[in-house]
Structure 1
């Protein structure tokens, strides 16, 4: 199981997206465990637990990502995936970034 952190500037949108991603990962048997957080909630311990950090478009700027100071792969979520809160596309995107193949095709 790989840990994926959804990082956004708005707690409401990240939690909506989190629900969609979790449902899709479970349905598609993707080995992903999603969590959501906002920049203010980040701790070194939380970052160290992650295998991938996905940044919402409003969070994906150089100042924010530089402040994280982590060795964890950090990737911007494409606007078309985030804008539609497309959990299926997010799971597929995360699997691709982690070189994973879910048990059920996405």
Structure 2
């Protein structure tokens, strides 16, 4: 499988950083090549040309439409991470969510 490039965004990138770490472990366990980074939402637009999917923390759901419009020229889907995945820092389910939205 090709390398999946995911970007997770929340306010300062702290909780999304933990979630990204767990998703990287889940990908490695499954034998999936993945680059999973966490950044603040204000940095997201500069990464559209180098990611396959943008995942927003649930508290940034109101940014989804705006981010999706900016990501459109790059064909990058912008998905809000469900609260249960985010709150439980469930890397496996996050990876499933990303893969489901990339196929």
- TM (normalized to structure 2)? 0.82
CA deviations 1:24-78 (Å, max 9, x no partner) are 111111233211111232343x11111111111011214x651571121101111
* Structure with bigger RCO (C-alpha 8 Å, 6+ apart): 1
Q: SS of the counterpart of 2:8? A: strand
Structure of higher CA gyration radius: 1
Say if 1:8 and 1:59, in contact at 8 Å, map to a contact too. yes
Counterpart-to-counterpart distance in 1, 2:18 and 2:6:
15
* Contact 1:30 1:91 survives alignment (8 Å): no
Contact conserved, 2:45 with 2:71, CA < 8 A, in 1?
A: no
Residue in 2 that maps onto 1:41: 43
Q: Which has the higher helix share?
A: 2
Equivalent pairs, count: 97
User: Any unmatched runs of 5+ in structure 1?
Assistant: 100-106
**Runs ≥4 residues deviating over 3 A:** none
In 2, distance between residues paired with 1:95 and 1:43?
Answer: 21
Give the secondary-structure state (helix, strand or coil) at the position aligned to 2:60. Answer: coil
The whole-number CA distance in structure 2 between the counterparts of 1:93 and 1:40 is: 23
Which residue does the alignment assign to 2:95? Answer: 91
The Cα RMSD (Å) is 1.8
